[in-house]
Amino acid sequence: MILLWLECDANGVTEISLETVAFARSLSAAGGGIVIRAALFGDVPEAARDQLAAHGVDEVHHVTGSAYDAYSGAAWASALQDIRERTTCVVVAAAGSPRGNEVIAHLAARLDVPMAANVLSFSGLAPFEVTRQVAGGSALEDMRLPRRPALFTVAGHSWTATPADQRTTPVWHEESPAVAEADLIARVSARGEAKEDSSGALTSSRVVVGAGRGAGGPNGFGGVMELAEMLDGALGVSRVVTSLGWRPHHEQIGQTGSRISPELYIPCGISGAIQHWAGCSSSKTILAINTDAEAPMVTKAHYAVIGDMHEVVPAIVAELKRRAV
Amino acid sequence: MVNVLVCVKRVPDSSSQVVLTPDNQAVDGRHAGFTVSSHEECAIELAVRLAEATGGLATVLTLGPAEATEQLRSALAVGCGAAVHIEADGVAFGPADVAREIAAVVRSHEAEGRGHDLVLLGNDASDTGDFQVGIRLAYALGLPVVNGVSTLEVADGVVSAHVDGPDGPETYSVPTPMVATVLEGGVEPRYPTLKGRIGAKKVELETRSAATQPAGAHRVRLRLPPPAPTTVEILGEGPEAAPSVVDLFEKLGIR
Ligand SMILES: Cc1cc2nc3c(=O)[nH]c(=O)nc-3n(C[C@H](O)[C@H](O)[C@H](O)COP(=O)(O)OP(=O)(O)OC[C@H]3O[C@@H](n4cnc5c(N)ncnc54)[C@H](O)[C@@H]3O)c2cc1C
Ligand SMILES: Nc1ncnc2c1ncn2[C@@H]1O[C@H](COP(=O)(O)O)[C@@H](O)[C@H]1O
């Protein structure tokens, strides 16, 4: 059996958690129809129930109780360990999100078994071999997971969150496994207000307008921000921009920033270094705006405009306004 | 007085094209040069700030080949006061092996009366990206761990660790000793001064050998992904391209 740790936001199960379910369905099929169980912690929005059925989850373990009100990697892994022991699951996986990697790493340490982070695909079942992203996505590693349970996380946006061919009627288990005091020492003790324009908007927007060193300075973002607003999109930046303090770190796209997969990404004045590419390569369409026709961002893009972003972007904004009337 | 141990890994500089070693077991940094991950640079900065503010000591540690002493010297040059080198072929060591070796050093320092209040690591190493050494280390030591920390303070034996969580900022209050993994972005790492660099050369390194045989990383091989075909369509040059761009938006159903 396969056990998945899934995350929710206000709208239901997160996109990358549903991608993990799609991965698990493929694994289930390869193993002749292995049962898929999901563990969800805390508040589960109503929409999630329908999503779990549509995406082919067979059994749901909904974990609540005072021990789980605030996040603690150790406590959540302890509950996951409890479920996995009762259900004898041979695979436990989560999305390759910060929390997904953290919870699975806790479980790996508790069980003293290997863990593979950011898995893209699997090849053999026995031995179980996976391919995962390393070096910020610029290299792949074939890795064996010889011990049971096999523990891994699924790289964000490497699978598509499509519903299953057949809906399921998940069996719902409400539970509250006991947790040792020691596992509750490192738990969230205070929470601040979410930043209004936090990276949530960046990772969920259909359109992202990017800006790099080509912006020229902290005051060079007016045009790209106006374009982002007109397209109902979000602004993302390169690391040069955050390092120079032109824009806040939570807007950074890349290996050490957010990974995005919008319908359209418009990088302006961004060279397309491998660490930046690691965060934007799964965009459906890329339109690069750059003065340099040889920049990697241009050669890797689907479309490009060669020119100064401070001239091209305002011209696009003007054209959008012209067509709007 | 807060004594901090900060763990760094010598990794190939990832800003240039990735090349693999001939045995396909590691990323080759011979031409690109070597560094530590940006998360670890921030961990060093946090360690040095804590030591400076409390009159404590920041000790840097690495497990790796003889050349990894370069990375220790760089950390000494920005304010770490002591350095530990576990001499070993890093590639043969999986994340559980590395955690076990770091734990052995922490325990032996503790036994010698120079224990660490806090152990800092990076959230993930930029070459192997295993996302687990810090957490495994915490379990090996029986200590609590907070992951993905951007800034932290210590007061009265309690660490306040700040994390940019999925739903906004979070704080963990955890008594020392504890382990934390650091995510870049909370602090700006400083550059070494000339004085720092000269001072770093004089520090005597604590050199150790690995305590146990490594179990390994279960790596079969590394490969490079196939290059994406370039089929870029140039929509035009300069502002005159704007109408074609907006046509594209309409074709994609963006507005
Ligand atoms: C461990 C590590 C992690 C990293 N993580 C990240 C990360 O998460 N995200 C990230 O982005 N980077 C990351 N980097 C940095 C990365 O290697 C590059 O340095 C960075 O992405 C370059 O930013 P840039 O494209 O804005 O700047 P540059 O590389 O300087 O490129 C500027 C581009 O703008 C073009 N340009 C200049 N002026 C104009 C103009 N007026 N109009 C149009 N085009 C113009 C130029 O032709 C050029 O292509 C990381 C590096 C390391 C070593
Ligand atoms: N060989 C090593 N020596 C010292 N610290 C290491 C080593 N390998 C990993 N680490 C630490 O563990 C963190 C996470 O690494 P990883 O789990 O491999 O992604 C790194 O950022 C380092 O701080």
> Is B12 part of a structural domain of the chain?
yes
Q: Which ipTM did the prediction report? A: 0.91
The one-letter amino acid at B199: G
- pLDDT tens for B150-166 read 999 999 999 999 998 88
Please give the CATH number for the structural domain made up of A202-324. 3.40.50.1220
Q: Which has the higher per-residue pLDDT, A95 or A243?
A: A95
Distance B106 CA to ligand 2 centre (A): 15
Distance A237 CA to ligand 1 centre (A): 9
Residue identifier of the C-alpha nearest atom 19 of ligand 2 = B124
- Domains A2-184 and A202-324 fall in the same CATH topology: yes
Round to whole Å and give the CA distance between B105 and B120. 14
> Is B40 part of a structural domain of the chain?
yes
Q: Which atom of ligand 1 is nearest to the CA of A240?
A: 23
Round to whole Å and give the CA distance between B11 and A280. 23
Residue identifier of the C-alpha nearest atom 9 of ligand 2 = B9
Residues above pLDDT 90, as percent of chain B: 88
- pLDDT tens for A281-295 read 888 899 999 999 999
- pLDDT tens for A87-138 read 999 999 999 999 999 999 999 999 999 999 999 999 988 889 999 999 888 8
Q: Among B4, B5, B6, B7, which is best to mutate for testing ligand 2, by the most ligand atoms less than 8 A from CB?
A: B7
> Is B244 part of a structural domain of the chain?
no
CA of A306 to nearest chain B CA: how many angstroms apart? 5
For residue B242, give the nearest of A145, A230, A315 by CB distance: A315
- Cβ distance B132 to A187 less than 8 Å, yes or no, reads no
Task: List chain A residues with CB under 8 Å of B130.
Answer: 115, 117
Whether pLDDT at A259 is above 70: yes
Give the predicted TM-score (pTM) of the model.
0.89
In total, the C-beta contacts within 8 angstroms joining chain A to chain B are: 251
Whether pLDDT at B250 is above 90: yes
Could you give the dihedral angle defined by the CA atoms of residues B120, B125, B129 and B134, in that order, rounded to the nearest 10 degrees? -20
Architecture of the domain whose range is A2-184: 3-Layer(aba) Sandwich (3.40)
Q: Supply the pLDDT for residue A196.
A: 55
Task: List chain A residues with CB under 8 Å of B144.
Answer: 74, 182, 185-186
For chain B, the average pLDDT equals 95
Closest by Cα among B62, B132, B65, B105 to A108: B132
For residue B148 and ligand 2, the question of a CB distance below 6 A is answered with no
- pLDDT tens for A126-169 read 889 999 999 888 899 999 999 999 999 999 878 989 999 999 99
Whether pLDDT at A82 is above 80: yes
Q: Supply the pLDDT for residue A195.
A: 61
> Is B165 part of a structural domain of the chain?
yes
Partnered with residue B221 across adjacent β-strands are: A142
What is the tally of structural domains in chain B?
A: 1
- pLDDT tens for B82-107 read 999 999 999 999 999 999 999 999 99
Range of weakest confidence among B19-23, B139-143, B167-171, B226-230: B226-230
Residue B185 belongs to domain with CATH number: 3.40.50.620
Q: Supply the pLDDT for residue A15.
A: 87
Whether pLDDT at B4 is above 60: yes
Mutate to test the interface with B, among A103, A312, A322, A325 (most CBs of B within 10 A): A312
Q: Are A25 and A163 spatial neighbours (Cβ–Cβ below 8 Å)?
A: no
> Is B59 part of a structural domain of the chain?
yes
Round to whole Å and give the CA distance between B195 and B77. 8
Please report, for chain A, the start and end positions of each structural domain, with discontinuous segments joined by +. Answer: 2-184, 202-324
> Is B63 part of a structural domain of the chain?
yes
> Is B239 part of a structural domain of the chain?
no
